[in-house]
């Protein structure tokens, strides 16, 4: 079961790595490393700028694939919760809440929900030879030390799944807001890259599509901030000039 959970959690990452195709690594061109000559840096900046200019408005599907992977991650967390709930005969979904209630309840009245799911003692039957030489049956009480570990693991998993579900839902809400609102994209771009002027961010968002914005944000997380500021400033100027020429 643990192996299947691990595979399901890795699937969105594997899908994105397949769909992404190494685009970010290729476009970075080691611009995240400061040890290159000024001539080489200018050449790489020019290549990056040319790519962003020549391929503008062509990255929407690339961005949507990433959003699909994030959605799959949320479905995976929720699905894992329900699968484990079925595995534990309907006792997992409320497991963490019941544990919290158990901790807060009176000592005399409380019933440990962890013992209900993971009993620490059980009845065992042993067969061994008696004094007469015949096999005799003996009933005894057995301790299950592994369940003491299991109950801690699954209470951690309950809270971990809850945290993952909450953070992924929050991220997807931000994604939806960014998709629906260009103003939000401007704000997020300006928030992420403080060195950029707001006018530059507005020009970039106004003259590009959602996929281009997502590519810029992703690239900016992996490239030296000063280098990326120069690239985006030049790209913004070219976009504004092209828009003026069209008008």
Q: What is the pLDDT of residue 108?
A: 63
Q: What is the pLDDT of residue 1?
A: 65
Cα 66–Cα 68–Cα 70 angle in degrees, nearest 5: 75
For residue 229, is it within any domain?
yes
- Residue 156, SS3 per DSSP: helix
For residue 24, is it within any domain?
yes
Q: What is the pLDDT of residue 150?
A: 82
For residue 110, is it within any domain?
no
Q: What is the pLDDT of residue 109?
A: 62
DSSP 31-83: TTS--S-HHHHHHHHHHHHHHHHHTTT--HHHHHHHHHHHHHHHHHHHHHHHH
Structure tokens at 175: 């994604």
Residue 204 CB: number of other CB atoms within 10 A? Answer: 23
- Residue 138, SS3 per DSSP: strand
Number of domains in the chain: 1
Q: What is the pLDDT of residue 131?
A: 67
For residue 187, is it within any domain?
yes
Q: What is the pLDDT of residue 168?
A: 95
Residue 217 belongs to domain spanning:
1-55+182-247
Specify the residue for token string 């828009």.
243
For residue 46, is it within any domain?
yes
For residue 12, is it within any domain?
yes
For residue 213, is it within any domain?
yes
For residue 77, is it within any domain?
no
Structure tokens at 177: 């807001």
Helix ranges restricted to H, the chain: 2-20, 23-28, 38-54, 60-87, 95-104, 113-117, 145-180, 182-192, 198-206, 210-220, 225-246
Q: What is the mean pLDDT of each run of 10 residues along the chain (247 residues)?
A: 81 92 86 72 89 92 94 94 86 82 69 73 76 71 80 88 95 94 92 88 92 92 86 90 75
């Amino acid at each position: 079961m643990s192996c299947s959970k691990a595979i399901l959690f890795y699937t969105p990452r594997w899908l994105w790595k397949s769909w992404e195709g190494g685009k970010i690594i290729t476009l970075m061109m080691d611009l995240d490393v400061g040890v290159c000559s000024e001539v080489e840096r200018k050449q790489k900046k020019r290549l990056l700028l040319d790519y962003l200019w020549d391929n503008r408005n062509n990255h929407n599907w690339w961005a949507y694939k990433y959003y699909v992977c994030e959605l799959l991650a949320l479905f995976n967390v929720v699905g894992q919760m329900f699968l484990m709930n079925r595995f534990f005969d309907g006792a997992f979904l409320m497991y963490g809440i019941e544990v919290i209630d158990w901790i807060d309840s009176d000592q005399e009245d409380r019933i440990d929900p962890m013992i209900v799911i993971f009993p620490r003692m059980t009845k065992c039957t042993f067969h061994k030879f008696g004094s007469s030489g015949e096999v005799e049956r003996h009933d005894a009480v057995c301790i299950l030390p592994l369940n003491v570990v299991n109950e801690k693991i699954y209470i951690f998993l309950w809270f971990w799944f809850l945290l993952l579900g909450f953070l992924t839902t929050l991220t997807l809400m931000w994604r939806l807001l960014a998709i629906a609102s260009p103003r939000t994209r401007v704000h997020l771009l300006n928030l992420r890259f403080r060195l950029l002027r707001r006018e530059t961010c507005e020009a970039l968002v106004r003259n590009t599509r959602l996929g281009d914005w997502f590519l810029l944000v992703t690239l900016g997380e992996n490239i030296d901030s000063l280098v990326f500021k120069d690239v985006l400033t030049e790209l913004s100027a070219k976009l504004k000039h092209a828009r003026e020429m069209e008008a």
